[in-house]
Structure 1
Amino acid sequence: MNLLRLYYLIYFKKIKPFDLSKFILKKIENLLFKNYFINIDYNYIKKQCLYSEKLLLKNKNNLLTGIPTTYKDIFSTKNIPTTAGSRILKNYNIFYNATFLNKLNNLGVINIGKNNMDEFCVGSNTFNFYFGKVENPLNKNFTIGGSSGGSVYLVSKNIIPFSIGSDTGGSVRQPATLNNVIGFKPTYGLISRYGLLAYSSSMDTVGIFSKNILNISIVLNAITGFDVKDPTTFNLIKEDYTRYLNKNWLLNRINSKKLTGLNVGVSKKIFNNIYNFSIRSNIEDILLNFEFLGAKIIFINILFFDFVTTIYNIISSSELYSNISKYNNKFLFDKTYYFLYKKTFFNSLSINTKNKFFIGNYLISSDKNKKFFFLSKKIRILIIENFKKIFTFCDIIILPTISYNNLKFLNLNLNKNLDKYTSVSNLTGLPSISIPSKILYYKNFKFFQGFQIIGNYFSEAKLIQIIYEYEKNFFKCF
């Protein structure tokens, strides 16, 4: 769904925000039993619609006024309970909103509801044991991906123009590929994390789903910026992420191809180790497409890539243990209830979360700290420095998004390798975008393949330009 088209209908009063929200709510009424939503507050939706209509009457509207969207249930919301997909937070009410959410609310964006997810973002299939399994819209036997699986459905079905999730190791880009949408993970620190319930604090990033790269650029213009409440954000000059659209990569060459001068990096070692034939042929086709647009392919060497998944798991498990432990301190002041609560706390967690929690406890114990956690931190710094050197002679890097086709997701034991290609941009904090590239057919249904582009720090505007040109010439999300 095109965001600008909705803006046109709202601005010229062909449709009211209230009627648009009512239409979407009717569409999703039949989907409530499919577990895509955890919380929907109809009274709050009415209040938001009234506010957006006031903005329109006072001519204080903008491109996002009256536009409906949904959020992953990991973000703090003052008016709606925040559960993080966990039973222990079922009735957890927060007294503040996430920073980016406040920015969107002030612009008149309407929050339809909060989406289902893997508990505390631990998982890759949105099989939530308490709030229910989320089905893939293409085929119920496939996984929808995770941990932001609930947020991708309405975008995939063209019901809303965009939705927002969080990305820690590929939680936005992986479900985006499996559901034929674009998944965007910005540079770490570009969007404030204040109000995001932490999984791995050094890697958590706010991500965006949409079928149109222009929609993502408009949302980025609204939610980026420095936040006093989040010390990891950067105080940069405000920029327009649409400024390079319909321009050449080298702006002084008018008659050249759109991406002439673009250097595309490909790791020869990684490419040769892609054993899935269809994924490998897909990457070959993508590289040929970029060459057709005028880009140049450069072979690069990514150090420690074989250890990226291990380092990611060590750091994320350790930080998860630190972040979840705070929920276990509720009755510490009362010895009578402490042991009862402690037992209830651990029994309430899902198996995946428990496993990661206890692994994190083991990894950051006093005698294992230097052996595992600190060593992983040191290797992480070396990986970051290696990428900085790569981007001195290379503009973007192309990698697969997932290592298997969706058909093989019927075997859930394969999920352990899902973060192989996506977690590297979380470890380094680099921006990354997952783009659909090919439709594959099997019997009576279809599924999708994609790829991801990793760019240099704060190069989001250039990445949007590249994807816009690629989408215009070769592929569009249907």
Structure 2
Amino acid sequence: MNLLKLYYLIYFKKIKPFDLSKFILKKIENSLFKNYFINVDYSYIKKQCFYSEELLLKNKNNLLTGIPASYKDTFSTKNINTTAGSRILNNYKAFYNSTFLNKLNNLGIINIGKNNMDEFCVGSNNFNFYFGKTENSLNKYYTSGGSSGGSVYLVSKNLLPFSIGSDTGGSIRQPSLFNNVIGFKPTYGLISRYGMFSYSSSMDTVGIFSKNILNISIILNAITGFDVKDQTTFNLKKEDYTRYLNKNWLLNKINYKKLKGLNIGVSKKYFNNIYNFSVRSNIEDILLNFEFLGAKIIFINILFFDFLTIIYNVISSSELYSNISKYNNKFLFDKTYFFLNKKTFFNSLSINTKNKFFIGNYLISSNKNKKIFFLSKKIRILILENFKKIFFICDIIILPVLSCNIWNSLDFNLSKNLIDKFTSVSNLTGLPSISIPSKSLNFKTFKASQGFQIIGKYFSEARLIQIIYEYKKNFL
């Protein structure tokens, strides 16, 4: 769904924000039992529609006024319950909004509801034991991906122009691959995380789902920026993320090869670790397409490749334990404190969360085990320095999102190394990364989409948007 088309319909009064929201709600009523939403508040949707219509009457509207969207339930919302996908926080009402949500609310965006997710963002299949399993939008027998699997469904079905989730180790890019949409994970610190339930504080990033790269650039213009409440955000000059669209890489209007001068890094180790033949051939086709557009392929070496998943798991588990253990003490629900004993607390957690929690507990429970955590942090710095050197010789890195196409949502035996191997690296380094669908596979029993991932330099979002725009225009 094109955001600009919706804007023109609303601006020229072809449709009212209230009617647009009503139309979408009617469309999704039949799919509510599929567990894509945790919370939908109809009275709050009405209030938002009236506010957006007021902005239109006063001529204070903008590109996002009256546009419907949905958010992952890991972001605090003042008017709707925030559960983080957990039974522990089933009735929790936050007393504040996330920073980016306040920015969107002020522009007149309409929040349709809060989406389903893996508990506390821990998981890769969106099989939530308490709120239900989320199905894939292409085939109900397969996983929608996690942990932001609920956020991607309406975007995939062209019912919403965009949706917002979070990415800790691939939680944006993996569901976008499985549901045939673009998943955008920006540079760590570009968007404020204030109001977001933390999984791994040093890796959590707010991300965007959409089928149109122009939609993503418009949303980035609205929600990026420094936040006093979040010390990890950067105080940078405000920029327009659409500024390179319809221009070639060297900003030369004569050359028909739009990406001439672009250097693409490809790791032989990454490439040799693709076990699925169709995924490997897909990446080869993509590299040929980029060469056709004028790009140059450069082979690079990524240090500690075999240990990336281990380092990610050590750091994320330790930080998860630190973030979740506070819920073992007390909760504030409607100004009333509820205390949980240890037995009730652990019984309320899902299997994936328990496993991560206990690993984190082991790693930081004693000085002896803490050495593993601190060693992982040191290796993380070396990986970061290695990527800085790589980006002296290349502009972007291309790699697969996963080494497989799709898997069944009940398959818990799939190795986590296969899931996180290609996605966790950009979270460890904080680099921007985007998952782009490339083609669809039509089998007898199911459909699946294939795609690829681009990692760019820090704060190079505008350039990444330019690359994706040109690629999609020529090959998709």
Alignment-derived partner of residue 18 in structure 1: 18
Alignment-derived partner of residue 67 in structure 1: 67
Alignment-derived partner of residue 423 in structure 1: 424
Alpha-carbon spacing, 1:152–1:139, altered in 2? closer, same or farther (3 Å): same
Q: How does 1:26-65 map to 2 (within 5 A)?
A: 26-65=26-65
Backbone CA RMSD of aligned residues: 1.5
- Paired residue type of 1:327: Y
* Residue 371 of structure 1, CA deviation: 2.8
Matched, 1:378 2:373: no
Alignment-derived partner of residue 395 in structure 2: 395
- Paired residue type of 2:437: P
Q: Secondary structure at the match of 1:177?
A: helix
Structure 1 residues 339-365: Cα deviation after superposition (integer angstroms, max 9, x where no partner)? 962221111111110110010000012
Q: Secondary structure at the match of 2:114?
A: strand
- Paired residue type of 2:102: N
Alignment-derived partner of residue 2 in structure 2: 2
Kept in 1: contact 2:143–2:407 (CA 8 A): no
Distance 1:144 1:339 in 2: 34
Alignment-derived partner of residue 296 in structure 1: 296
Distance 1:367 1:293 in 2: 54
Alignment-derived partner of residue 453 in structure 2: 452
Q: How does 1:65-144 map to 2 (within 5 A)?
A: 65-144=65-144
* Residue 415 of structure 1, CA deviation: 4.9
Q: How does 1:66-465 map to 2 (within 5 A)?
A: 66-252=66-252, 254-330=254-330, 341-407=341-407, 411-416=411-416, 417-465=418-466
Structure 1 residues 420-464: Cα deviation after superposition (integer angstroms, max 9, x where no partner)? 100000000000000001211211532101100000000000000
Identity of counterpart residues, as a percentage? 85
- Paired residue type of 1:258: K
Distance 1:353 1:445 in 2: 30
* Residue 59 of structure 1, CA deviation: 0.6
Distance 2:77 2:49 in 1: 17
Structure 1 residues 279-300: Cα deviation after superposition (integer angstroms, max 9, x where no partner)? 1100000000000000000000
- Paired residue type of 1:429: G
Kept in 1: contact 2:141–2:408 (CA 8 A): no
Alpha-carbon spacing, 1:253–1:138, altered in 2? closer, same or farther (3 Å): closer
* Residue 368 of structure 1, CA deviation: 3.4
Once the two structures are overlaid, the 10-residue window that deviates more, 458-467 or 359-368, is 359-368
Kept in 2: contact 1:124–1:415 (CA 8 A): no
Kept in 2: contact 1:141–1:410 (CA 8 A): no
Structure 1 residues 34-67: Cα deviation after superposition (integer angstroms, max 9, x where no partner)? 1100001101000000000000001111100000
Kept in 1: contact 2:134–2:144 (CA 8 A): yes
- Paired residue type of 1:458: F
Kept in 2: contact 1:62–1:107 (CA 8 A): yes
* Residue 370 of structure 1, CA deviation: 4.1
Kept in 1: contact 2:143–2:408 (CA 8 A): no
Distance 1:410 1:344 in 2: 26
Distance 1:343 1:6 in 2: 50
Alpha-carbon spacing, 1:102–1:283, altered in 2? closer, same or farther (3 Å): same
Distance 2:217 2:101 in 1: 17
TM-score scaled by structure 2? 0.97
Distance 1:118 1:410 in 2: 13
* Residue 253 of structure 1, CA deviation: 5.8
Q: Secondary structure at the match of 1:391?
A: helix
Kept in 1: contact 2:75–2:195 (CA 8 A): yes
Distance 1:415 1:51 in 2: 48
Distance 1:338 1:50 in 2: 36
- Paired residue type of 1:201: S
Q: Number of aligned residue pairs: give it.
A: 471
Structure 1 gap segments, 5+ residues each = 332-336
Kept in 2: contact 1:409–1:415 (CA 8 A): no
Alignment-derived partner of residue 334 in structure 1: none
Kept in 2: contact 1:64–1:109 (CA 8 A): yes
Structure 2 gap segments, 5+ residues each = 332-336
Q: Secondary structure at the match of 2:414?
A: helix
Once the two structures are overlaid, the 10-residue window that deviates more, 407-416 or 315-324, is 407-416
Distance 1:151 1:157 in 2: 11
Q: Secondary structure at the match of 1:93?
A: coil
Structure 1 residues 386-406: Cα deviation after superposition (integer angstroms, max 9, x where no partner)? 000000110000010011121
TM-score scaled by structure 1? 0.96
